[in-house]
Amino acid sequence: MDWDVVIVGAGLAGLSCGLELALKNKKVLLLEVDPVVGGRCSNWNENGMEVESGFHRFIGYYTALPALLKKAGVEVDEMVTWEEKIDVLIKGKNKKLVVGISPLMGPVKMLRGIFGNQDILTTKDKLSLVPFFIRGFKDYLLAPVKLDSYSVKEYANLHKVTDNALHYLLIPLSSGIFFLPPDRYSAYAFFGLFAPAVPKFYKMRNGAYLGGMTDVMCQPIADKIIELGGSIELGVNVTDVLTDEHGTVIGVKTESGEEYRGKHVVIAASLVGAKQILEKFKNEPSFQNLFKLPTMPAATLQIELTEPVLEKDITTFGPKTSLASFAEQSRTTFRRSNGRLSIILTPAEDFLMKSPDETLKIVVEDAKALGIHLEGKIKDYRQINHPADFYSLAPGVDPLRPTQATAITGLTLAGDYTRQPYFSTMEGAVVSGQRAAQLVEKALGEV
């Protein structure tokens, strides 16, 4: 069957592209290699244990994603519960740094974070961050290439950020969010994550999902696409694109040899998947940057417990340990659990080759150093590895990000690795999908 558009990948980029085109009465087919929709924003049952692709939060300043969800009939306030602060646990000291992150919804918590916590961050430590952030946002706007030549740690040293401020605030905000330690994380990407929040500071807060992301966020988008006449096929491994004698893309081919033809094809797979599918274009000049664009890994450990180990389900960081960021989730995402801890591990590459048992042993010891006692409370656990989860956020990489438009007729790209104002975020994936949809609609109108 011929389709108006064949979209490879049913993560947020593919789903947003598919919904926008289906709303324009285009006949849309989405092909997804996994057994569920969502991509890196998915949840599933793994041998009897409910797991998710990683530990995620909905950021309050998102605008494209909430608008997309509204089109699918999903209200964000019914999908998440909002957090107005984060906790940073101090290794070996049985103390925590409480940081308010919502100036409008939680002003008291924010003020307490700024003027309190003196036993962990002194006034000198806090003041050392002022020139770092002022110059960082200025360079982000006026000297992005220069800013991208520094790592977060180098930029912090340049502006004389104290060791305490570096370890207990900047490192959690780097490795705790995007897995990379500050000496390998681009200062441009760091400030780029927070830059959209500046004009929307009043919207800043974190949202903890009230269920798995496939269940509460991605599947409703998929259902809306189907309701509008589109189709989604799961467990389909696309390995190649089909071209005609003129080099125009006319469809895709799967691992089993099946062909799906369409007037236009959108590759919305992960960066690694896109490179594999587009292998035939590897030597095309316009694809050089895409194939040079490196990736970075991610690893999480998800532990089912006999009881909660934290008082609240809140975003928490564990600097100087393997627990980059984590949360108790038995009151939010996994409400059928007696206790549930999901942890982003750092550095991720150190854990990819370790067995889950080895990882668990390290995590239990590091958790104890943070004042979290897991011994005798563990029922089950799963380690979820992504050897090439995102495009790399290292210094000098950003210029390699391709646009959604390609030089190949009939082919468009979508994914957070493509060029748009956001970095490796859900918002960036949605924006890329929407831009791809606009390009496809224009191309179909010219046929």
Q: How far apart are the first and last CA of the chain?
A: 19
Residue 342's pLDDT is: 96
394, with CB counted inside 10 A (0-12, 13-18, 19+), is middle
Annotated binding-site residue? 108: no
Per-residue DSSP letter, 245: T
Query: Distances from the Cα of 354 to the Cαs of 76, 137, 296, 297, 315, in angstroms?
Result: 37, 38, 17, 14, 25
Whose tokens are 């370890």? That residue is: 167
Instruction: Show me where the domains of the chain are located.
Output: 2-42+211-293+393-446, 100-203, 295-391
Per-residue DSSP letter, 355: -
Nearby residues of 19 by Cβ (< 8 Å), 6 or more positions away: 68, 71, 72, 221, 224, 225, 228
Cα Rg, the chain, nearest whole Å: 22
CATH topology of domain 2-42+211-293+393-446: FAD/NAD(P)-binding domain (3.50.50)
pLDDT digits (tens, 9 = 90+) for 156-180: 999 999 999 998 888 887 777 777 7
pLDDT digits (tens, 9 = 90+) for 195-223: 887 887 778 889 999 999 999 999 999 99
**Region 289-317: what's the mean pLDDT?**
95
Annotated binding-site residue? 56: yes
Strands annotated E in 293-376: 295-305, 316-317, 323-328, 339-345
Return the biggest CA–CA distance within the chain.
Answer: 70
| Interstrand relation of 49-52 and 43-46 (parallel, antiparallel or unpaired) | antiparallel
Residue 10's pLDDT is: 98
Q: How far apart are CA 1 and CA 381, in angstroms?
A: 43
pLDDT digits (tens, 9 = 90+) for 77-106: 999 999 988 899 999 988 888 888 675 565
CB contact at 8 A, 251 and 260: yes
Annotated binding-site residue? 252: no
Annotated binding-site residue? 431: no
Proportion of the chain in helix, strand, coil states, percent, rounded to 5: 35, 25, 35
Q: How far apart are CA 149 and CA 169, in angstroms?
A: 22
Residue 309's pLDDT is: 96
Annotated binding-site residue? 238: yes
Whether the pLDDT of residue 36 is over 90: the answer is: yes
* Domain made up of 295-391: CATH architecture: Alpha-Beta Complex (3.90)
Per-residue DSSP letter, 164: H
Other beta carbons within 10 Å of 174:
29
**Region 336-352: what's the mean pLDDT?**
94
